[in-house]
Amino acid sequence: MYTPPHAHNLSEHARCLYGDEYRPAPVDCELGLHEEFYFLEALTFADADEILAMLRELSPNLADGFLPVFVRNLAYRLVLLQRPDEPDLMREAALSLHLYGPSWDDIAEDLERRADALEGK
């Protein structure tokens, strides 16, 4: 994977692209060196801890923050692929899906059922 020399960690990269209502953007964001395709590439190959750190830094209350919905959905999908047996993460992802539209309610409900099954409910 090509990593541009100006790349930040995932949270900083997202902050430069989309903004953050809780923290200012890093100083060098004004240089215009950040591209969404580099961010999406970094997100695609990031580990679950780095993705979760980004989600929690930029959207600590789940329903807030400036991350686009498609980024949130992709981020949760990638985390769940890496951690398929964590009911709490499934429920968090399901809640995010419910918050951003009825289009994904069936997927959210499936995640909730899978979380319940893992916990033997």
* DSSP symbols for 49-100: HHHHHHHHHH-TTSS-SS--HHHHHHHHHHHHHH-TT-HHHHHHHHHHHHHT
At residue 31, the pLDDT reads: 54
Answer whether residue 2 shows pLDDT above 50.
no
At residue 89, the pLDDT reads: 97
Answer whether residue 3 shows pLDDT above 60.
no
pTM, whole model, 2 decimals? 0.88
According to DSSP, residue 116 is labeled H
Q: Tokens representing 82?
A: 């890496």
- Per-residue pLDDT reduced to its tens digit, 61-87: 888 899 999 999 999 999 999 999 999
